């Protein structure tokens, strides 16, 4: 990670490499911080050479966050549906036990003289 004195190009390169690294989930807050610092440096240096890259990386990070949020929502919905399915299965099992108990009682009454 670029230090406090790192140039905008180093920061943008770091962000790009981290975003492209598919082995793990990058620390998006740290990447946003680096991107923000690079953007400020580019404004101060009046440099247009890397502003397009900075904008592209900002869009990529925004898209990644959007996808991560959608995945988290989908996962939460799936967990809720699984919980409901488990509850319904437990209720169905309880009804089966009640039905079996009632059938056993009816059978005992028929057997007794």
C-alpha dist (Å) from residue 97 to 9, 10, 29, 101? 69, 67, 53, 6
pLDDT band for 105, please (50, 70, 90 cuts): confident
Residue 27, domain member (yes or no): yes
The pLDDT of residue 113 is 59
- When mean pLDDT is compared across 13-22, 48-57, 61-70, 104-113, the lowest value belongs to 104-113
Residue 94, domain member (yes or no): no
Whether 5 shows a pLDDT value over 90: the answer reads: no
Residue 103, domain member (yes or no): no
- Helix axis angle for 51-111 and 8-20, nearest 10°, is 30
Residue the block writes with tokens 């440096």: 41
Residue 93, domain member (yes or no): no
pLDDT above 70: percentage of residues in the chain: 90
Continuous segment of H or E residues that includes residue 3? none
How many domains does the structure of the chain reveal? 1
Residue 108, domain member (yes or no): no
Mean pLDDT score of the chain: 88
Residue 96, domain member (yes or no): no
Residue 90, domain member (yes or no): no
Whether 104 shows a pLDDT value over 90: the answer reads: no
Residue 38, domain member (yes or no): yes
pLDDT tens digit sequence for 29-59 = 889 889 998 888 888 877 678 888 999 999 9
Residue 90's Cβ-count burial label (10 Å; 0-12, 13-18, 19+) is exposed
What is the extent of the structural domain holding 19? 8-83
Q: The pTM is what?
A: 0.66
Helices H / strands E in the chain, number of each = 3, 0
Q: How far apart are CA 63 and CA 80, in angstroms?
A: 26
Q: How far apart are CA 8 and CA 100, in angstroms?
A: 73
């Amino acid at each position: 990670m670029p230090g406090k004195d790192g140039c905008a190009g180093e920061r943008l390169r770091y962000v790009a490499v981290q975003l492209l690294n598919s082995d793990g989930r990058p620390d998006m807050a740290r990447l946003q911080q680096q991107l923000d610092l690079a953007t400020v440096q580019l404004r101060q240096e009046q440099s247009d050479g890397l502003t397009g890259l900075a904008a592209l990386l900002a869009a990529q990070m925004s898209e990644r966050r959007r996808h991560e949020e959608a995945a988290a929502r989908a996962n939460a919905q799936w967990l809720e549906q699984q919980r409901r399915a488990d509850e319904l299965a437990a209720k169905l099992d309880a009804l089966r036990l009640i039905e079996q108990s009632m059938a056993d009682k009816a059978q005992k009454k028929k057997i007794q003289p």
